[in-house]
Amino acid sequence: DGGITQSPKYLFRKEGQNVTLSCEQNLNHDAMYWYRQDPGQGLRLIYYSQIVNDFQKGDIAEGYSVSREKKESFPLTVTSAQKNPTAFYLCASRQPGTGPTFAFFGQGTRLTVV
Shortest CB 81 distance to another protein, Å = 23
Distance CA 79, CA 81 (A): 5
- Strands 64-66 and 76-78 turn out to be antiparallel
Contacts for 46-52 with beta carbons within 8 Å, 24 or more apart? 46/76, 46/89, 47/76, 49/74, 50/96
Q: For residue 8, what are the contacts with CB-CB under 8 A and spacing of at least 6?
A: 22, 109
Between 11 and 45, CB nearer to another protein: 45
Instruction: Give me the residues that bind another protein (CB under 8 A), please.
Output: 31, 33, 35, 37, 40-45, 48, 50, 56, 58, 88, 90, 92, 94, 96-98, 100-105, 107-108, 110
Shortest CB 9 distance to another protein, Å = 10
Between 33 and 74, CB nearer to another protein: 33
Between 37 and 86, CB nearer to another protein: 37
